[in-house]
Amino acid sequence: MNKEEFRRICAQYCEGGDFALNPDAAFLEDVLDGVMQKQAETGLRYCPCRLTTGDFEKDIDLLCPCFFRAQEKWKTKGECWCSLFVKK
Ligand code: SF4
């Protein structure tokens, strides 16, 4: 999957929700590039700001988009760990 396809998936993921892609365009590009980098390295689109173990069973929660609503940062700041998604 290329970056534009991934961006579309992320935008669709936001539809109907109370969150959106980060409106800071430059920052958004950096995070999307980070996910693409992980994909190039591992074959999977892992979170760009958390470390994987190499064990798929353990790393499955790090596939992007993750279930960020469970994260402390979402509860306190209204952003996913990497700030790819932000509360509206
Ligand atoms: S924290 Fe954000 S960027 Fe990282 S996997 Fe979750 S949704 Fe993706």
pLDDT in tens, 34-72: 999 999 999 999 999 999 998 999 999 999 999 999 999
Cα 56 to Cα 76: distance, rounded to the nearest angstrom = 29
Q: Under 8 Å CB-to-CB from 83, ≥6 apart: which residues?
A: 22, 27, 31
CATH 3.40.50.720 fits 3-87, yes or no: no
Cα(2) to ligand 1 centroid in Å equals 17
Cα(33) to ligand 1 centroid in Å equals 13
Averaged pLDDT score across all residues of the chain? 96
Which residue type occupies 82? C
The model's pTM: 0.93
Residues with CB under 6 A from ligand 1: 31, 47, 49, 64-66, 68, 80-82, 84-85
| Bridge partners, residue 78, by sequence | none
Q: What percent of the chain has pLDDT over 70?
A: 100
